[in-house]
A and B are shown apart, each in its own frame.
Chain A
Amino acid sequence: MNPSNLSRRFFLRGAAGAVLALPLLESLQPRRAARADGPPAHRFAVFVRQGNGVQQATGSEPERFWPSALGPLTVASMKADAGRAVSELADFAPRLLLVRGCKYNFSYSGCGHADGGLQCLTASKPDGVNGNKSLATNESIDWRIARGMKAGGQPLNLYAGQKGAYLPDVISYSDAGKRVAAIDNPLTAYTLVFGKPDASVEAQNKLALQRASVNDLVRSQMQALMSSPALSKSDQQRLQTHFDAVRDLELKLACHLPASRYSDFTKIDPGKISDDDQIDMIVKMQMDIIALSASCGLHHAMTLQIGNGNDQTQYVINGVKQERFHHISHRINSDGDKGDPIPDADKKHHEIDRLFARWFRYLLERLDGYDTPSGKLLDQGVAVWLNDLASGPPHGSTNLPYVCAGGCGGALSTGKFIDAADAPKYQFVTHNQFLNTIGSAVGVKNGQGAPLDDFGSAELPKGRIAGMLA
C-alpha cells in the first residue's frame, strides 16, 4: 500500500484491539502528496535506546548477552541459550537479526556517555571537547529516514524515565547541533499524534473542515514569509520545517487505541512521569503509541530513549529495587572508578538487559498485532534495540549490541546472528554502516538515488553491512 491509496477509508484491526479508520475526507489529502512510486506507508524504523552498555563478555565477566553461536537463529536455539539476555526474544527468532562487530569511531568529548549518546544515531563527530555539553555535528538517522521517506517528514521522538540535568535527551538531532527534546509524557504524545479520541465523527469532520480553512490561510502566510530574500538559510530551514508540519497533520484522524487503554493514559500523574516506579508503565505506553503510529502510517521513523544519558534509574528486578543502573554498570557504588563493590553487579546488569529485552519483546508483540495489506506490521519495518555504549566496564564503544526485528518488507535478512567485523583481521566496522543498512532497508536513498550508504560523518567509510541484507 502506498500513500496514494490513503484517500480510501480502510480499517485495520490489531491484536491490541485498535480500530483504525483512515482518513475520512478526500479534502484532507496532504497538499504535496508523496510520489506515487514512493515507499510503502507502513515502512518504518523504530529505535529503542538503552544506556550504560550491556553485560557481554568483558575482562573476567562471562558472556550473558549474545547467543552462544553465530549463524541461524531458531526458537529452539534461542531457548537453549536461556542464560543469554536475548533469549527473552526467542519466540521471534525467525524475524530477528543480531549484529555484533560494530564500533563508534569518535571518542573525545570527555565523557563516554556523551560520546555514545550523540553518536548512537548520528554517526557524527562530536563538536568538541565539551563533556556533557558536546553536540552532534549532523542529523540523526531517525530524521534522515523521516525526511528521506517523505519530503518534510519528521520522526516521533519519545522518552521514558528520568531526564536528569546532566545528560537528558541524547540521541536525536534534527540537524547539526540541534538536539531534539523527546516527549516523556505518553498522554501528551498520544494527544499530539492522534488527537483526543472522544470526539464524534461529526465533530471531527466539522473540526477538520475548520482546520482545512485555517491551514490554507496559515500556509499562504508562511509562503509569503518564506519568499523573503532577507531570511538566512537557517531561517529558511526553520520555516520549511514548520510549513511541512502544517501539511502533515490531517491523517491522524480516527486512529486510536481502544478506549480502555486510552483511559490508562489519562490516569497518568504528570508529576510522577519520571519516577523510577513508573518506568515500566511509561515504556509500554510509549511503545503502544509507536506501534499505533506505524500502523497508521503516521511516522516512518521513531525513537524511544529509556533513561537519561548515564541511566540513573533504579530498576526493579524480581520485585526488588536495585542500585542506580549507572552504578551497577560500573560494578561499584559510584559514578567514578572507586567505590564499594556492588555484589553480583554483573548479574544485576544482565537482569536489567533482560528487562530491556522483555520491553523490546512487548514492542514486537504490539507491532505483530497489526495487520497491513502486505502482512504483519512487524515485517513491514524494522525495530532496533540498541545501546549507546557496548558494555558495562569499561564503557567500551566496540562490539556495540544491535538487536533488530522485522525484515523491512524483505530488505533485511532475518533469523540469524552475524558478525559485521572484517573477519581475518578482526577489525570492527564503524557503526554508520549499520545505520546505512537500516536506512536503506527502509527505503532511504543517498544523493545519487542509490541505497543510503553515506550517512554520518564524512570521515567515516561509506557502505552497508552485506550480511544484514537479504
Chain B
Amino acid sequence: MKSSSLESIRTGRALVVALVGATVLSLACTGQIGDPQNSLCTDCPPGTGGPGAGGGQGGPGGTSNAGGTQVGGANGGGTSSGGTNSGGAAPLGVAPSTRLPRLSHTQWENTVKDLLRLDAVPGLSTGFPPDPTTQFDTDVEQKGVSNLHWAAYQTAAEEVAQQVAQDPQKLAKILPPGLPGGGIERARAFVQGFGRRAFRRPLTEAEIGGYAALFEKGVELVGGDPLAAGVQLALHAFLQSPAFLYRVEASTKASGDRVWLGGFEVASRLSYALWNSMPSDELLDAAEAGELADAAGVEKWARALLKDGRATAVLTSFHNQLFETAGYGKVTKSSSLFPEFTKDLEPLLKQEARLFFEEVVAKQQGGLREVLTSPVTFVNDKLAPFYGLPAGVGPEFKKVELDPKQRAGVMTQVGFLSKNGGLVQSDPIHRGVTINLKILCEKLTAPNMIPPLPEQKPGQTNRERVAAHTEGCGKGCHDTKINPIGFAFEHFDTVGAWRSTDNGQPVDAKASMKIDGEVKSFDGAPGLMNVLASSAQVHRCYSRNWMEYALGRQPGEVERGWVEQLAESSRSGAAATEILVKLAVSDVFRARPVEGGAP
C-alpha cells in the first residue's frame, strides 16, 4: 500500500471519527494507553474530574459525607526540570547505595550461563517471583530475597546443578585444570577454582574449607560418582550463596571522602554494567593483578568488554527500556479504521526497535544524536506499508533509509508513534508527555482529575481540538512543555503513518518551546528531533538514565557533576559506548562514600 493511499483513506476516516465521537483518554487514572505514568500539571478546578454518575456519597446513616470523594485533597500541578542544572559548580560526590545489589532475574540467567559455560541461558527464572516494576530492570534498591525468592533460587540451583554435574560433557567444562584425582585435595581444588568464578572473587580459607567439606558429603547425600556428586552438592550451595546472589561490596578502606572499591568489586561493576553478567576469567585475572586499581586500567578493560557481543545486548536493553518498547504493538486501534494494525505486529515492532538500536548504537557506534535523528530503520513486508514503502520487501527484515524530511530517529518509528497514539486519533498529549518524562527528564506532577478531550468537530484538526481543550485546563504545562512537542508529531496518525491532512485540513506541525533557556522553533518531528539532539537538557537526561541503568540506582544530588561531564561528552557527539567508558572511569562507578553515608 502506498503512502498516499493510506493517507487518503485516513483523511476520510478522520471525518468519520469526528462524527461518531472520539474515544479520548484522560491521564489521571487511566491505564489504557501505554503507561500513563504521564501525569500532567493542570490547574483544573476541583469537580471537573471524577466519574460521571451520582452526586456526593451519603453515609450509611444518611448523613453527609465528610471528605467522601477523592476530588479533594491537594491540588496537583507544577513541574520541575529533573534534568536541569541548577547552576553553580556541580558537585562531584558519590551517593550512598546498597552494598548488596542482588542479581536481577536476567542477570541470574546470564550469570548461570557464563558460570556453568552453558550454550544457552537455563530459562529457569520464569518460575521466580516477579520483582517490583522499576524504570530499568537493573535497579538494585527494590530487590531482595523473600522466602519465595529463596525457594525459587533453591529449586533452580538444584535443577541446574544436577543437569551439569550428571552430564559428563557439561561437567568437564567447569572443572578447573589439573584437578587432583580424588580426596579432599580434589574437593579443595574444585572449590577454589570454581568458587572464584561463582563469587567473583577468591574464596577465604574458611569458605574453601566449608565448601570442600560439603563436596565430600556428596557421595553420601547425592550418591553415584564421587566427583559428580561432590560437584552437584557444591553447586547447590554456590548458587544459593549470598556471595553469588548479591554483588557484595565489602570494601571499607577510606581515602578522603571516598571508599575505593577493590579490584574484584570493580570487575563485577564493570561486567554487570557492560555485559549484564559475571566477569570473565580474564577480567578476574586482571582484578587479581591489580589492573583495575586506577582509572586507566578500568578504561582499558571497559573498552575491551564493550567489544563483546554481550555489550550489544546491554546497549539494546537500555534503549528498549528507556523507550518502553515492551509496550510496542499492545495499544489497541480501531479495527474498522486501521484493520492493518493487527496483534501480530507486536513482535515485529519490537524487532524493528532492537535492530535499530543494534545498528545505530552498537554497529555504527552512535550516540543519542543518532538515536534521535537517524532516518534508518528495518522493515519487512508487514511494516513497510506503514512507512509508505513499496511492497516486495519480503518476510525478512531489511535495512531501509526513510525520507529524512519525514522521519528522524526512534520516535518517528511506528512502534513509538502507535504506542503513544489513541484508538482512532494521534495523541499529541501522550507523545508530548512521554518525551518530557523520558527525554527531557521533566517531572510532571499529577493533577487531581483530568477531563477527557471533547469530540472532534467536523473540519477541526486534532491539534485544534487539543489546543482548545488545554486552553481551559492545564494551560501552564501544555502550552510550554507538552503540546509543542506533541504537535510536532501531527504528521503521524495513530498507527504512525504519514499524513499531510487531518480531518480534511492541512496538518500544522509547527511549534516552538523554551529549551535550555531559549525559545526554539521547529516544524515537524525531524525539526524537533534536531532541536532535542542539540539540547544540553536532553543530553543531561540521557546521561542520568545511563547512570541509573549502570549503577542500578538514580544519581544523587551530590553526583550532578558526573552527570554534567557525561552530558557534555554526549552533546559533543560521543557514542553511547563512550558514555559508558567515561562512566566506568568516574569516581561514582569506582568508589563508595565514606561510612555513615549509607542508607
Give A residues with C-beta under 8 Å from B.
Answer: 57-61, 66, 100-101, 103, 107-115, 129-133, 154, 156, 164-169, 174, 178-184, 188-189, 191-193, 195, 206-207, 209-211, 213-214, 217-218, 220-222, 225, 228, 230-235, 238-239, 241-242, 244-246, 248-249, 252, 270, 308-310, 312, 326, 329-341, 345-346, 390-399, 419, 421, 423, 426-428
CB contacts (< 8 Å) of A309 on chain B: these are 31
Contact with A along B100-140 (1 / 0, CB 8 A): 10000000000000000000000000111111110000000
Min C-beta distance of B548 to chain A, whole Å: 15
Query: Of all chain B residues, which has the CB nearest A335?
Result: B30
* 16 pairs of residues in contact across A and B, judged by CB atoms under 8 Å: A57-B60, A107-B73, A110-B76, A110-B447, A111-B29, A213-B221, A221-B243, A230-B250, A235-B98, A245-B145, A337-B26, A337-B451, A345-B53, A394-B56, A419-B60, A427-B66
* B53 and A392 form a contact (CB under 8 A): yes
Chain B interface, number of residues (Cβ within 8 angstroms): 96
The answer to whether A395 and B69 touch across the interface, beta carbons within 8 angstroms, is yes
Other-chain residue from A195, A213, A234, A394 in contact with B71 (beta carbon distance below 8 A)? A394
B168 at the binding interface (Cβ < 8 Å): no
Given contacts A332-B52, A426-B63, contact A115 B70 (CB under 8 A): yes
Q: What is the bound-complex CA distance between A189 and B127, given in angstroms?
A: 8
Known contacts A228-B250, A233-B599; 15 further A-B pairs (Cβ under 8 A) = A108-B74, A110-B28, A130-B39, A166-B30, A207-B158, A225-B243, A245-B151, A252-B151, A336-B28, A392-B54, A393-B51, A394-B54, A395-B51, A398-B66, A427-B66
Q: Is the CB of A110 within 8 A of B145?
A: no
B34 interface neighbour in A60, A165, A206, Cβ under 8 Å: A165
Known pairs A107-B70, A419-B60; A130 contacts B144 (CB<8 A): no
User: With A239-B100, A244-B147, A419-B60 given, is the CB distance from A222 to B37 under 8 Å?
Assistant: no
Chain B residue contacts of A132, Cβ below 8 A: 29, 36-37, 39, 446
Query: Once the chains bind, are B150 and A337 in contact (CB under 8 Å)?
Result: no
Contact assessment for A222 and B57 in the assembled complex, using a CB-CB cutoff below 8 Å: no
Complex Cα distance, B69 from A219, in Å, reads 50
Residues of A within 8 A of B72 (CB): 107
Q: Which of A108, A218, A396, A399 contacts B242 (CB 8 A)?
A: A218
Which of the residues B210, B240, B243, B446 comes within 8 Å of A111, measured between beta carbons?
Answer: B446
Residues of B within 8 A of A (CB): 21, 23-26, 28-32, 34-37, 39, 48-61, 63, 65-74, 76, 96, 98-100, 126-133, 142, 144-152, 154-155, 158, 207, 210-211, 214, 217, 221-222, 233, 236-237, 240-243, 248, 250, 252, 327, 445-452, 454, 595, 598-599
CB contacts (< 8 Å) of A428 on chain B: these are 59, 66
**Is B237 in contact with A337, judged by CB distance below 8 angstroms?**
no
- With a cutoff of 8 Å between Cβ atoms, the chain B residues found around residue A107 in the complex are 67, 70, 72-73
Closest CB pairs A-B (n = 5): A110-B446, A166-B31, A59-B54, A131-B446, A112-B70
Q: B466 to nearest A CB, angstroms?
A: 15
**Chain A residues whose C-beta falls within 8 Å of the C-beta of B242 in the assembled complex:** 218, 221-222, 225, 239, 242
User: Given A225-B242, A232-B96, A270-B126, A108–B61 Cβ distance below 8 Å?
Assistant: no
A234 near B29 with CB under 8 A, answer no
Chain A residues near B241 (CB-CB < 8 A): 218, 221
Check if A336 sits within 8 Å of B233, measured CB to CB. no
Q: Which of B39, B126, B154, B595 counts the most chain A CB atoms within 10 A?
A: B154
Cα A392 to Cα B327 in complex, Å, equals 29
Determine if A339 and B29 form an interchain contact, defined as CB atoms under 8 angstroms apart: no
Question: Do the beta carbons of A188 and B127 come within 8 Å of each other?
Answer: yes
By beta carbon, the residue of chain A nearest B38 is: A131
Which of A133, A188, A270 has most B Cβ within 10 Å?
A: A188
Q: How far is the CB of B230 from chain A (nearest CB, A)?
A: 12
CA distance A395 to B21 in the complex (A): 26
Q: Which residue of A lies closest to B223 (CB)?
A: A206
Q: Which of B25, B142, B147 contacts A335 (CB 8 A)?
A: B25
Beta-carbon contact of B67 and A337 below 8 Å: no
Residues of A with C-beta under 8 A to B74: 108, 110, 129
Of chain A, the residue at the smallest CB distance from B595 is A230
A165 and B330 alpha carbons, distance in the complex (Å) = 11
A213/B243 contact (C-beta < 8 A), A110-B446, A232-B98 known = no
Central interface residue in B28, B74, B98, by most chain A CB within 10 Å: B28
Q: Which residue of B lies closest to A179 (CB)?
A: B132
Taken together as a complex, chains A and B put the C-alpha atoms of A419 and B243 apart, in Å, by: 54
Cβ-neighbour of A192 out of B28, B151, B221 (below 8 A): B151
Do B237 and A214 touch across chains, with their CB atoms under 8 A apart? yes
